[in-house]
Amino acid sequence: MSEPYDHLLERYARLVIRVGVNVQPGQEVVINGLPEQADVARALAHEAYRVGASRVTINYEDLHLRRSAVQHAPEEMLGRTPQHQLEGIRAWRESRPAVIRLTGNPAPGLMDGLDPERLAKAQPVDLVAEVSPILTTNQVAWTVVGAPTPGWAASVGVADVARLWDAVARAMRLDEVDPVEAWRRHVEKLATRAATLNDHSFDRIRYRGPGTDLTIGLAERSTWCGGSVLSEDGVEFVPNMPTEEVFISPDWRRADGVVRTTAPFFLASMGALVEDLELELRDGTITEARATRGEAEVQQQFDLIPRSRHLGEVAIVDSDSRVATTGLVFKDMLYDENVGSHIAWGFGFPFSFDGAMELSSQERIASGLNQANTHVDVVVGNPEVQIDGIQRDGTVVPVTRGDEFVLGS
């Protein structure tokens, strides 16, 4: 990290540690990232100790090692996580660490040319199966944040990592006099927006625009969320930074129509950029998927991961989005999902579904909340896509118009 960015990185770490995961005195902290992201990981560790963390652990995964495994490892070993790693994650239920995952692929083309089937099988599904129940039920405070690197900057198409840091700083409100206070105001705005949606008790949400006419059913137990949430221990935290969305987990059995993505996205699990994706859904199932780029990788995920053809999230993002104002395609889901309104296939969030925290995985599915070892957000909104809420009596209520949130205005 060059000298001019030391102060920026310090402000970044302060925001993530004090707002993102809200580290408590005496708490353990776990940071998961890549070797190329070490500067950010170390800054976060330093700030965590400053606020009183008892122990900080940094776990590095090497993408080059994964590529070698896809090329040469025995097929029966693909995707199998060492037992000690799985046991370490299970221990989180007792140790209750604050968990931070760094994102921003430093080598997005690294998996190009690999066998898509072996690449899909190399995904650590057993690891996801251990992590997801802990994080998605908020047993611990957790967050996902970006870590700028030269490789990520090159893939985004900016001049250098300094320009990427400028964009990240804008998206993270580091340009505010007091970023921590700015985030508290932002979180409050999103919470108010979610409450407005909940007050209307919509039965369905409809997206309409060029190439899109999709109606998604909500369950009576579905609840709009946005901004911060509480861990089991009562600690307020922000799961995604940045975040510009209000979102809900729908009834996976109720989705019909067609939808076209309005922004490219990077399918990280397959190492593939996907462009111009079109989906058809019938009775809650994705029945067709076409894309000008990345279609084979999307199909591979659908074929290999059970229940990945059902929706787990519906989200609304309007033109206030700080991420959208950067004008960049970050090729990273954390950022790119916040460019516009989106949907996601795969895992639905138990904390967005009343009573689901106490249900088993099969009971959640039976109640309408999808469960799967993947969660992929795809942007389907822009100023030409209108979003309506439909009440149980058929009354249609505008939610967005021209990319502006108008409900309750």
What would the two tokens of residue 368 be? 């309408």
Residue 226 to residue 381: CA distance in whole angstroms:
18
**Tokens 């909940």, residue located:** 198
Under a CB-based contact definition with an 8 Å cutoff, are residues 382 and 262 in contact? yes
Query: How does 281-320 read in b/e, with b if 16+ C-beta sit within 10 Å?
Result: beebebeebebeebbebbebbbebbebbbbbbbbbbbbee
Torsion angle in degrees (nearest 10) through CA of 303, 305, 306, 312: -110
Euclidean distance between CA atoms 264 and 157, whole angstroms: 14
For position 1, what pLDDT does the model report?
41
pLDDT one-digit tens code per residue, 90-116: 999 999 999 999 999 899 889 889 998
* pLDDT at residue 271 in the model: 77
Q: What is the pTM of this model?
A: 0.87
Taking a C-beta distance cutoff of 8 angstroms, is the pair 341, 379 a contact?
yes
How far apart, in Å, are the Cα atoms of 229 and each of 16, 309, 355? 15, 27, 16
Alpha-carbon distance of 330 to 308, in angstroms, equals: 24
Length of the chain in terms of residues written: 409
Under-70 pLDDT residues of the chain:
1-5
Please tell me the predicted confidence (pLDDT) of residue 368.
97
Q: What is the pLDDT of residue 5?
A: 67
Q: How far apart (Å, rounded) are the C-alpha atoms in residues 96 and 30? A: 10
242 prior amide bond cis, ω within 30: yes
∠ Cα 219 225 231 (to 5°): 110
Distance CA 260, CA 210 (A): 8
Q: What is the rounded CA–CA span in Å between residue 44 and residue 23?
A: 11
Strand ranges in 104-235 using DSSP code E only, listed in sequence order: 142-146, 204-209, 212-217, 225-226, 229-230
The angle, 0 to 180 degrees and rounded to 10, between the axes of the packed helices 161-171 and 6-15 is: 30
pLDDT at residue 270 in the model: 81
**Cα–Cα distance, 331 to 20 (Å, whole number):** 22
Report the pLDDT value the prediction gives residue 137, as an integer from 0 to 100.
Answer: 86
Helix (H/G/I), strand (E/B), else coil: 204: strand
HEC profile for 258-316? EEECCCCEEEHHHCEEEECCEEEEECCEEEEEECCECHHHHHHHHHHCCCCCCEEEEEE
CB atoms within 10 A of CB 125: 18
**Alpha carbon distance 226, 208 (integer Å):** 23
Q: By the 8 A CB rule, do 286 and 315 touch?
A: no
Q: Can you point out the beta strands (E) in 34-111? A: 55-60, 98-103
CA angle 154, 156, 157 (to 5 degrees): 65
86 exposure class (CB count in 10 Å sphere: 0-12, 13-18, 19+): middle
